[in-house]
Structure 1
């Protein structure tokens, strides 16, 4: 199973009055991790959009364990939790520079046509993506 890793240096602007990373920034970091994961599989979100397909979030969860602070580095680990051919559920872990678990989460996505927002079958429209995601699912369960 592929687990992609991306790193983000915590910037001052990402912290709140308490000096810790503002919770919504973790959702942005999930996106950074997801984009890195897709790139590691050999694909491109940008190319998908050029092909007229979007991948909106339909559900998202985050569980905050330990705060990150300014000057630390967030390590974002991303993988495929579930894949049905229509929906993809990505799993995430964010760790600090001491490798302490700070956040866990997941996001669920579907692919839709840009002009109509109608769902599409990943298997039919992007057979290479489908095969790669099926392979990730089988590796996880196997």
Structure 2
């Protein structure tokens, strides 16, 4: 099962008055991780959009464990938690450079046509991507 890793340097502008990463920035880092995961599988979210398909967020969860602060490095791990052929749930863990778990979360996405926002089947529009996600799903179930 692929667990993509993305490193992020915590920038000063991403922190709040307490010097801790502002909570909304973790959602941006989830997106960075998700994009890297898709790229690591050999696909391109940008190409999906060019082909007229979007993947909006329908649900998001974040569970804060330990703060990250300016100057630290965050490592975002991303994987497929669940896949149905139309809907995909990505899982995330963000750790600091010491390996300490700082946040866990998930985001759920549905593929839709850009012009109508009607849900579409990944198997129909992106069969290779569908097969890769099915493989990830199977490997997760075998763990």
TM-score range, shorter chain: over 0.9
Deviation at 1:95, TM superposition (A): 0.2
TM-score under structure 2 normalisation? 0.99
Deviation at 1:31, TM superposition (A): 0.2
**Cα distance per residue 1:33-67 (max 9 Å; x no partner):** 00000000000000000001100000000000000
Distance 1:97 1:114 in 2: 39
Deviation sequence 1:92-112 (CA, Å, 0-9, x none): 000001110000000000001
* Gapped regions of structure 2 (runs ≥ 5): none
Residue equivalent to 2:75: 75
How far is 1:17 from its partner? Answer: 0.4
Q: Name the structure 2 match of 1:100.
A: 100
**Misfit runs of 4+, over 3 Å:** none
Q: Give 1:2 deviation, angstroms.
A: 0.3
Secondary structure of the 1:47 match is: helix
What SS does structure 1 have at the residue aligned with 2:46? helix
Query: How far has the Cα of 1:128 moved from its partner?
Result: 0.5
Shift of 1:9: 0.2
Between the two proteins, the alignment pairs up a number of residues equal to 142
Q: Report SS of the residue matched to 2:107.
A: strand
The CA distance in 2 between the partners of 1:104 and 1:33, in whole Å, is 12
Partner of 1:87: 87
1:56 aligns with 2:56: yes
Deviation at 1:69, TM superposition (A): 0.2
What SS does the corresponding residue of 2:27 show, helix, strand or coil? Answer: helix
2:135 — aligned with what? 135
Q: What's the secondary structure of 2:102's corresponding residue?
A: strand
User: For 1:100 and 1:106, how far apart are their aligned partners in 2?
Assistant: 18
